[in-house]
């Protein structure tokens, strides 16, 4: 009887320990936060993105993937990433024609008038994860912040929904999620990149236009990309330390 009780207690104990560790491990697997992902060290990374305008075909895969992956509402029209099409008279950079129907979700119709004198190209946009973010600066409670690995994040549990950060963002990257009444924006698919995956938009880009990059990784192709191309960020005059680098960015792009 004693022997039986000891066996029973031993087995139960082992079962409890195993279940608990499996639970903890599973939590790590599912975790989106670095402190819950033991193999991910935030200080080892400095995330950025390269976008090659020369190769973007405006298919909208990135917009659709982002909406699905991050549960971004379809209505009202809000976007963590979107694509714009510019049609520019090369001699008049100040008056580009820009369109982004449904944020480029369904791709773009072919241009109605094919004028050989005009140039046309697509510009995918998303949060620039600025190193000196104006949005982070103005948040009254620090609900939006720069993580140690260079990603600008929003704590939904803490956000007041005051919209001051939306006013402060020069790029129009932020919006209020009508379901949570808190602000939302691209977070470089933080739940994916902390688990060694790339972002949903980069994953589904058929032309390799968008590439997630780790500036702290010496082997990352971003270094060659930045060295070998004429690279620009959006609105450099804003001095926000943007980390989304564009190759082939036209002067007309706002």
> Which residues lie near another protein (CB under 8 A)?
76-79, 82, 84, 94, 96-100, 102-103, 125, 134, 137-142, 158-164, 166-176, 180-182, 238, 254
CA-closest candidate to residue 132, choices 235, 254, 247: 235
- Least distance to another protein from the beta carbon of 43, Å? 22
Q: What's the rounded Cα separation, in Å, for the pair 227 and 150?
A: 21
Of 133 and 198, nearer to another protein (C-beta) is 133
Is residue 242 within 8 Å of 232, Cβ to Cβ?
no
When the beta carbons of 72 and 211 are compared against another protein, the nearer one is 72
Distance CA 246, CA 249 (A): 6
Residue 190 beta carbon to another protein: minimum distance, rounded to whole angstroms: 20
d(CA 28, CA 22): 10
Cα separation, 52 vs 81, whole angstroms:
15
Q: How far apart are CA 190 and CA 31, in angstroms?
A: 10
Q: Min. distance of Cβ 60 from another protein in angstroms?
A: 12
| Nearest residue (CB) to another protein, 175 versus 190 | 175
Q: Which is nearer to another protein, 7 or 180 (CB)?
A: 180
State in angstroms the smallest separation of the CB of 228 from another protein. Answer: 29
The smaller minimum CB distance to another protein, of residues 116 and 140, is found at 140
Min separation Cβ 82 and another protein, Å: 5
The minimum distance between CB 108 and another protein, in angstroms, equals 14
Between 82 and 245, whose beta carbon lies closer to another protein?
A: 82
The answer to whether the bond into 162 is cis (omega within 30° of 0) is: no
Residues 188 and 46: their CA atoms lie apart, in Å, by 12
Name the β-bridge partners of 84. Answer: 123
- In the block, residue with structure tokens 């599912």: 30
Comparison of 118 and 226: residue with beta carbon closer to another protein: 118
CA-closest candidate to residue 182, choices 203, 164, 162, 167: 162
Q: How far apart are CA 108 and CA 115, in angstroms?
A: 17
What sign for the dihedral angle of Cα 91, 229, 99, 164?
A: negative
Nearest approach, Cβ of residue 196 and another protein (Å) = 30
């Amino acid at each position: 009887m004693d022997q039986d009780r000891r066996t029973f207690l031993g087995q139960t104990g082992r079962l409890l320990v195993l279940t608990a560790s499996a639970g903890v491990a599973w939590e790590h697997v599912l975790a989106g936060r670095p402190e819950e992902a033991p193999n991910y060290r935030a200080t080892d990374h400095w995330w950025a993105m390269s976008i090659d305008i020369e190769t973007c075909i405006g298919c909208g895969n990135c917009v659709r993937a982002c909406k699905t992956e991050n549960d971004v509402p379809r209505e009202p029209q809000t976007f963590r990433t979107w694509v714009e099409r510019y049609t520019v008279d090369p001699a008049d950079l100040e008056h580009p024609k820009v369109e982004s129907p449904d944020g480029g979700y369904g791709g773009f119709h072919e241009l109605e008038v094919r004028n050989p004198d005009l140039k046309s190209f697509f510009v995918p946009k998303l949060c620039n994860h600025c190193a000196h973010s104006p949005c982070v600066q103005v948040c009254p409670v620090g609900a939006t912040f720069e993580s140690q690995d260079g990603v600008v994040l929003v704590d939904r549990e803490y956000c007041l929904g005051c919209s001051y950060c939306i006013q402060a963002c020069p790029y129009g990257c932020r919006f209020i999620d009508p379901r949570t009444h808190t602000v939302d924006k691209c977070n470089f698919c933080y739940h994916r990149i902390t688990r060694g995956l790339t972002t949903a938009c980069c994953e589904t880009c058929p032309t390799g236009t968008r590439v997630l990059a780790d500036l702290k990784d010496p082997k990352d192709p971003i270094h060659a990309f930045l060295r070998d191309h004429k690279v620009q960020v959006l609105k450099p005059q804003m001095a926000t330390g943007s980390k989304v680098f564009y190759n082939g960015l036209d002067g007309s792009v706002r």
